[in-house]
A and B are shown apart, each in its own frame.
Chain A
Amino acid sequence: GEDVEQSLFLSVREGDSSVINCTYTDSSSTYLYWYKQEPGAGLQLLTYIFSNMDMKQDQRLTVLLNKKDKHLSLRIADTQTGDSAIYFCAARFAGNNRKLIWGLGTSLAVNP
């Protein structure tokens, strides 16, 4: 079935790069998304990538997609304390356009 998996926790030092990883099971994915959730708040879209792309960069954020391994990553350069949040990976698969399949979220802790 369709599934999206993420590691649950990541801790980095301020100024370092963070890499958050996500794997998915269905090769029919169309769009893959990264959302950020700060404590007690809703989710906000960070970026998304279409499945025919390998990479997308937006300021400090770089998304890499390895379709062969069904692996998606989000790299945050020069990580700041304000980046501390939960990061969700989500995938939209070709056979089910009405909803997203969500990962459980990766809690990023940035230490000064």
Chain B
Amino acid sequence: DGGITQSPKYLFRKEGQNVTLSCEQNLNHDAMYWYRQDPGQGLRLIYYSQIVNDFQKGDIAEGYSVSREKKESFPLTVTSAQKNPTAFYLCASKVIRSGANVLTFGAGSRLTVL
């Protein structure tokens, strides 16, 4: 079955450490996205990529980095520069074409900073 796999589901980090969240899709989707979700704040866009080896900052990119070396993969690194990284992180993907361009989401990764 096609879909998006995020790992790990739960991650604990000490302050000052970088962590990388994995996102892999086998849907042959062109574009991939990372969102951050905090209680009562909805979804905020961190980074997105529409093509391999290219990505753009979203609304809250500071303290995060990404790479898109393969079409299927879009890992997110939460660096020590991110002041408040505890949150639920969602990866999503979609095809790029005319029409509804519906986003497909992964199950999410919950990061807790100890």
Q: A9 vs B108: C-alpha distance in the bound complex, in angstroms? A: 23
Interface SS of chain B: strand
Chain B: residues with Cβ within 8 Å of the partner, total of 25
Chain A: residues with Cβ within 8 Å of the partner, total of 22
Q: A60 vs B108: C-alpha distance in the bound complex, in angstroms? A: 27
A-B contact count (CB 8 A): 50
Best-buried of B41, B50, B102 by chain A (most CB within 10 Å): B102
Which A residues are in CB contact (< 8 Å) with B6? 42
Which B residues are in CB contact (< 8 Å) with A50? 100
B103, A45: Cβ atoms under 8 Å? yes
Which residues of A are interface residues toward B (Cβ below 8 A)? 8, 31, 33, 35, 40-45, 48, 50, 88, 92, 97-100, 102-105
Which residues of B are interface residues toward A (Cβ below 8 A)? 4, 6, 31, 33, 40-43, 45, 48, 50, 56, 58, 90, 92, 100-108, 110
Q: List 22 A-B contacts (CB under 8 A).
A: A8-B40, A31-B100, A33-B102, A35-B105, A40-B110, A41-B107, A42-B4, A42-B90, A42-B105, A42-B107, A43-B43, A43-B103, A44-B105, A45-B103, A48-B100, A88-B42, A88-B43, A98-B48, A98-B56, A99-B48, A99-B58, A105-B42
